[in-house]
Amino acid sequence: MPRPDANPLPDRRRATPTVAVMPRPQPPVTSLLTDQYELTMVEAALRSGAAQRRSVFEVTARRLPAGRRYGVMAGIDRLLAAIGRFRFDEEELDHLGAAGIVNAETLTFLAGYRFSGHIWGCQDGEVYSPDTPLLVVEGSFAEAVVLETLVLSVLNHDCAIAAAASRMVSAAGGRPLIEMGSRRTHEMAAVDGALAAYICGFDGTSNLEAGRRYGVPTLGTSAHSFTLAHDTEREAFAAQVAALGSGTTLLVDTYDVADAVATAVEVAGPGLGAVRLDSGDLLALAFDVRAQLDELGNVDTRIVVTGDLDEYAIAALAAAPVDSYGVGTSLVTGSGAPTAGLVYKLVARAVDGDPGAPVEAVAKRAPGKPSRGGRKTVWRRLAGSGRGVADVVRVLDAAEPSDAIAAGGPGRPLLVPLMREGQPVWTPGTAESRKHHEEAMAQLPAHARQLSPGDPALPTLIT
């Protein structure tokens, strides 16, 4: 079992501390990272007069990925920043005009585009059930509809990784986890994936940009190539210890594990921080290496396990003397669910083009893909113990103000104001999101953490 006093990041180059760090300013996003039909809808709406009609769009999950019992919200902070930078500059407008994608009237509209509406949503780290509103966007039809692709590309990616990370944290049972999937995904997806994993309880990442941009602790030592670059394993270990100190982590499965462990102890001495196992029968090796380390007197040297781990492999190692895990491919691909399956649907619109006109519910009735009309508020109903019982969704009356979206009901409201008149009003940092996820998980019933397939941990009740 892991030692309670063990340093979860066994290397002196564990970088940034756990602090609340807001994302650094980034270059403007291009509004062409969207689907063409968003712009053709704007063009047609400008002609019909619907473009300025007040509209309410909603992001929901019709269902959770197979076998999952809850979803996790992630990506809100960077989504709000991206919406604030959503512009059609001269270069983009020239392309749209030259390609004949939209007409001159639409180009004029896009040239002045600035989102000026309101957004409510679950905060980063929140856990959610299917059929509940996760994000609500209110504005004119034209300014809200063009955000669909941006909203879904951010949230579907980050929520998928967050849910996988949360399951892995549960499976680890308190043992530290390190995200190390940068080489298995798109280079920028790796940065945001590291943040999503950290929010859900991972202890650090190998990705340096995630450390710089979001304040996620970073660490790393060596790969097999470092050992192979030296004439002997002893020479490689000696070089690493000389550079990084005896508290470093030595990779011991390049050749023979038992010989490597013995050599590592001879080179680094009793202060050896950790050894890493990356291949083979990890369960059997962990017991063998622990026994060997203890016999050699290195009772405080930790064992780090990596190598194609997912939540099931981590759970299978629960009884092994493993101190921490490194997870790559499975994490950054959502562990079998690379998208959260979120959709962005129009659920209400004003009865006419008057800015003060009341809204009415609209819904899609297509078989297999229906939507539920009306503006909604949602809250988590709690038992006396503080555990969640159900997520309750109430459809607002047409006469109720939009602010009622965040009002909730008898329980904990799940939607908070995120943006007002195009300006962000929600500014928690990484540390706050991480804490929120921990608290949200504590409210779920115990069976939510089970890895076996099952129904959502909390039922969704529509009132």
Listed residues 271, 291, 322: the one ending a domain = 322
| Judgement on whether residues 295 and 346 belong to the same structural domain of the protein | no
Percent of the chain whose pLDDT exceeds 90: 87
Rounded to whole angstroms, the Cα distance separating 69 from 331 reads 17
Q: Side-chain half-sphere of 6: how many Cα atoms within 13 Å?
A: 23
| Judgement on whether residues 295 and 246 belong to the same structural domain of the protein | yes
- φ, ψ of residue 121 to 5 degrees: the values are -175, 170
| Judgement on whether residues 315 and 342 belong to the same structural domain of the protein | no
pLDDT at 357 over 60: yes
DSSP, residue by residue, 294-338: HHTT-TT-EEEE-SS--HHHHHHTTTS---EEEE-HHHHTGGG--
**Secondary structure letter of residue 106 according to DSSP:** H
Give the pLDDT band of residue 3 (cuts 50, 70, 90).
Answer: very low
Q: Judge whether 174 lies within some domain.
A: no
Q: Judge whether 8 lies within some domain.
A: no
Q: Judge whether 443 lies within some domain.
A: yes
| Judgement on whether residues 287 and 376 belong to the same structural domain of the protein | no
| Judgement on whether residues 121 and 52 belong to the same structural domain of the protein | yes
Query: Mean pLDDT throughout 270-286?
Result: 97
Closest alpha carbon to 156 in 166, 146, 148, 168: 148
| Judgement on whether residues 112 and 55 belong to the same structural domain of the protein | yes
Domain CATH for 300? 3.20.20.70
Query: Mean pLDDT throughout 9-34?
Result: 57
Predicted confidence at residue 366, as pLDDT, reads 80
82-123 residue pLDDT tens: 999 999 999 999 999 999 999 999 999 999 999 999 999 999
The amino acid at 158: D
On whether the CB atoms of residues 417 and 120 are closer than 8 A, the answer is: yes
* 262 burial via Cβ count (<10 Å: 0-12, 13-18, 19+): middle
* 25 burial via Cβ count (<10 Å: 0-12, 13-18, 19+): exposed
| Judgement on whether residues 40 and 153 belong to the same structural domain of the protein | yes
Q: Is 405 helix (H, G, I), strand (E, B) or coil?
A: helix
Which residues fall within 8 angstroms of residue 248, CB to CB, at 6 or more apart? 10, 11, 12, 221, 240, 241, 268, 272, 273, 274
Give the pLDDT band of residue 28 (cuts 50, 70, 90).
Answer: low
Q: Judge whether 4 lies within some domain.
A: no
Q: Is 144 helix (H, G, I), strand (E, B) or coil?
A: helix
Give the pLDDT band of residue 352 (cuts 50, 70, 90).
Answer: confident
What tokens appear for 168 in the block? 């892995």
On whether the CB atoms of residues 8 and 324 are closer than 8 A, the answer is: yes
| Judgement on whether residues 317 and 407 belong to the same structural domain of the protein | no
Listed residues 292, 322, 352: the one ending a domain = 322
Closest alpha carbon to 136 in 441, 374, 331, 443: 374
Q: Side-chain half-sphere of 81: how many Cα atoms within 13 Å?
A: 16
Rounded to whole angstroms, the Cα distance separating 339 from 329 reads 15
Q: Which residue has the higher pLDDT, 116 or 365?
A: 116
Nearest-10 Cα torsion for 352, 355, 360, 361: 110
Structural domain tally of the chain? 2
391-428 residue pLDDT tens: 999 999 988 999 999 999 999 999 999 999 999 999 87
| Judgement on whether residues 317 and 341 belong to the same structural domain of the protein | no
* 68 burial via Cβ count (<10 Å: 0-12, 13-18, 19+): buried
Listed residues 296, 322, 348: the one ending a domain = 322
Predicted confidence at residue 15, as pLDDT, reads 43
Q: Judge whether 398 lies within some domain.
A: yes
Q: How far is CA 209 from CA 29, 41, 215, 325, 353, in A?
A: 18, 37, 9, 21, 46
215-257 residue pLDDT tens: 999 999 999 999 999 999 999 999 999 999 999 999 999 999 9
| Judgement on whether residues 301 and 360 belong to the same structural domain of the protein | no
Q: Judge whether 283 lies within some domain.
A: yes
Q: How far is CA 92 from CA 208, 228, 400, in A?
A: 31, 49, 40
130-163 residue pLDDT tens: 999 999 999 999 999 999 999 999 999 999 999 9
Q: Which residue is listed with tokens 């102890």? A: 265
Predicted confidence at residue 2, as pLDDT, reads 45
Beta strands in 338-415 (DSSP E): 342-350, 359-361, 376-382, 388-395, 412-413
Q: Which domain holds residue 376?
A: 36-159+337-462
Q: Judge whether 191 lies within some domain.
A: no
Average pLDDT over all residues of the chain: 93
pLDDT at 5 over 50: no
| Judgement on whether residues 78 and 107 belong to the same structural domain of the protein | yes
Give the pLDDT band of residue 13 (cuts 50, 70, 90).
Answer: very low
Percent of the chain whose pLDDT exceeds 70: 94
Residues in the chain: 463
| Judgement on whether residues 298 and 365 belong to the same structural domain of the protein | no
Q: Judge whether 318 lies within some domain.
A: yes
Predicted confidence at residue 29, as pLDDT, reads 65
For the ranges 26-35, 219-228, 279-288, 335-344, the lowest mean pLDDT is seen at 26-35
Domain CATH for 56? 3.20.140.10
Taken in order 371, 373, 376, 378, the sign of the CA dihedral is negative
Rounded to whole angstroms, the Cα distance separating 405 from 120 reads 7
Predicted confidence at residue 6, as pLDDT, reads 42
pLDDT at 264 over 90: yes
